[in-house]
Amino acid sequence: MIEKLRIGFIGGGQMAEAIIRGLLSSGRTKAERIAVSEPLPERRAYLEKTYPGLEVLGDNLDLVRKADLVVLAVKPQVMARVLEEIAPAVEPRHLVISIAAGIPLSFLEKRLPPGTRIIRVMPNTPALVLAGISAYTGGQSVSREDLELAQEFLSSLGEALELPESLFDAVTGLSGSGPAFVALFIEALTDGGVKMGLPRPVAEKLALETVLGTARLMKEAQKNPYELKAMVTSPGGTTICGIKALQDKGLPAAVMEAVEQATKRSQELSRLVEEE
């Protein structure tokens, strides 16, 4: 379905570029069927040079009039202004996808014409290397066909899950904030190697490849965390001693608390947005 649509991005930042790159590399569409509205001249010049055939504009209204699928890829703090600007050009033929963090469907539906088909998406930063996981949910007027199109659209960035909006704050706390938690763990793993005498470049490579390989093994071999842990942990061996140290220091509880606190902060920010 994607190949039949004219796709317009309002905002040409990193996440918008990641989606464009994913769509093009997957062969789902051609650059000539994609347009981007971007306020910064230097960014417009970069996009035009990097993606030949891409139409790059400086006018949001012009972009909406040309597009069938409109992707809102702007910062949350400017979303209200952008919605007010484009609302007169939004028609029943448009499908609107928002990738702005923390902006609920109610906020979008209140500022666009009644009956506008809106899908909210929560991507994460690994989407920048086409290895992301995105959650999506539809507004009051979307059809099953619209949701299937969203699934196809987002699969160019990695995996995509349809979830109720009530879970989006938890998604933000886990997969949205999770890359930072994983980065912190990799940093600590690296420092542990350095403490034990490894040169830092060697420790960094070992830590990164260990985390990357472990995730790939779990996914491809369909191993859950307990099964993978059992594969590595022999009686009286090195791994069980390390696991005990992590448990004694409270790593599992700390990670759970991190997800909980990130989720609560997302809930707070969502409430602030809805009160505007």
Q: Is 18 exposed, middle or buried (0-12, 13-18, 19+ CB in 10 A)?
A: buried
The DSSP result for 96-155, as a single string, is EEE--TT--HHHHHHHS-TT-EEEEEE--GGGGGT-EEEEEEE-TT--HHHHHHHHHHHG
Cα 129–135–272 angle (5° rounding)?
110
Does 140 share its domain with 46?
A: yes
Torsion of CA 233, 235, 241, 245, to 10 degrees: 70
* Order of strands across the sheet that contains 7-10: 55-57, 34-37, 7-10, 69-72, 95-98, 117-122, 132-138, 158-162
Domain span at residue 202 reads 176-265
Does 158 share its domain with 249?
A: no
Which residue, 132, 164, 196, sits at the end of a domain? 164
Q: Is 222 exposed, middle or buried (0-12, 13-18, 19+ CB in 10 A)?
A: exposed
pLDDT at site 276? 66
pLDDT at site 128? 86
Q: Is residue 275 part of a domain?
A: no
pLDDT at site 53? 94
What does the pLDDT profile of the chain (276 residues) look like in tens digits?
A: 787 899 999 999 988 999 999 889 888 889 999 999 999 999 999 999 999 999 999 899 999 999 999 999 998 889 999 999 999 999 999 999 999 988 999 999 999 999 999 999 999 999 888 899 999 999 999 999 999 999 999 998 899 999 999 999 999 999 999 999 999 999 999 999 999 999 999 999 999 999 999 999 999 999 999 999 999 999 999 999 999 999 999 999 999 999 999 999 988 888 887 766
Does 204 share its domain with 79?
A: no
CATH for 188: 1.10.3730.10
Number of domains in the chain: 2
pLDDT at site 81? 94
Residues 69 and 168: their CA atoms lie apart, in Å, by 22
CATH for 158: 3.40.50.720
Q: Is residue 271 part of a domain?
A: no
